[in-house]
């Protein structure tokens, strides 16, 4: 974590559950919460990257987050890991629904099976993770759920209609759950990242020319990286945001 990052004492020893926490933005979140003294549990399907992250943090701090291999499309397995987390570490205080897949697709070529698979990855796990974690939060007297939206919704980006639809629904899910869970002191917000330059994005979608074009459109002429997303998520998890729910917080360098 950047030495200048804020320290949130309200996150110390809190149990934080992160989906897709082994690489990209998720790894930055795992690192950030770990350095806040939180008890981090994360799921992913990339065993190599996830184990490397666990080893890195253990070597650095003497302690390590807890990693479970879990395909979040398997709702029963996801909810089982969430239940096991509560039994082993105590009730989950913060749920970060980060995992997603933004593979490009032509609207002409989308069939029912592909559409359903995209929803099973980019939308369905958010609800069922929240359903399971919220029960623990109610027991503990409150908590924070942070759903990841996408700037693609505001910008109506082309080439990925199923992904954009799922992310638009995630924004609706946030507002609905904020209403449902507010009486239990559970806050639900959406974090909206911009064009975050991760290894995957560079490998699959963003060319050097694309990156130049994106920065030209951003108000802030900077390379947006995963480490820029983590501080906003920490804030939404901390008691400093105790009166904020049902909101969208964009970290996009002013792209949208």
Query: Could you give the residue numbers annotated as active site?
Result: 163
Please give the angle made by the CA atoms of 10, 13 and 17, to the nearest 5 degrees: 95
- What are the phi and psi torsion angles at 19 (to 5°)? -90, 140
CB atoms within 10 A of CB 176: 13
Q: Which residue has the tokens 């559950």?
A: 17
- For the four alpha carbons of 136, 126, 225 and 49, in that order, the dihedral sign comes to positive
CB contact set of 1 (below 8 Å; sequence gap of 6+): 31, 32, 35, 36, 230
* DSSP β-ladder status, 248-251 and 66-69: unpaired
């Amino acid at each position: 974590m950047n030495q200048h990052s804020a320290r949130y004492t309200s996150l110390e020893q809190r149990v934080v559950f992160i989906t897709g926490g082994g690489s990209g933005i998720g790894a930055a979140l795992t690192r950030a919460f770990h350095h806040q003294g939180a008890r981090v549990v994360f799921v992913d399907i990339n065993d190599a990257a996830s184990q490397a992250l666990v080893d890195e943090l253990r070597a650095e701090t003497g302690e390590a987050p807890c990693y479970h291999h879990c395909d979040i499309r398997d709702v029963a397995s996801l909810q089982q890991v969430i239940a096991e987390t509560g039994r082993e570490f105590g009730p989950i205080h913060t749920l970060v629904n980060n995992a997603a897949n933004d593979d490009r697709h032509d609207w002409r070529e989308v069939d029912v099976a592909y559409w359903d698979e995209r929803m099973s990855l980019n939308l369905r796990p958010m609800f069922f993770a929240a359903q399971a974690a919220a029960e623990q939060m109610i027991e503990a007297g409150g908590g924070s759920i942070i759903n990841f939206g996408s700037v693609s919704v505001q910008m109506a980006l082309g080439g990925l209609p199923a992904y954009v639809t799922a992310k638009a629904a995630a924004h609706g899910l946030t507002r609905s759950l904020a209403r449902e869970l507010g009486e239990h002191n559970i806050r639900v917000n959406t974090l909206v990242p911009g064009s975050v330059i991760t290894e995957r994005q560079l490998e699959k979608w963003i060319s050097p020319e694309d990156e130049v074009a994106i920065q030209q459109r951003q108000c802030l002429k900077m390379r947006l990286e995963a480490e820029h997303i983590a501080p906003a998520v920490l804030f939404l998890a901390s008691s400093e945001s105790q009166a904020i729910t049902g909101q969208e917080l964009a970290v996009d360098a002013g792209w949208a």
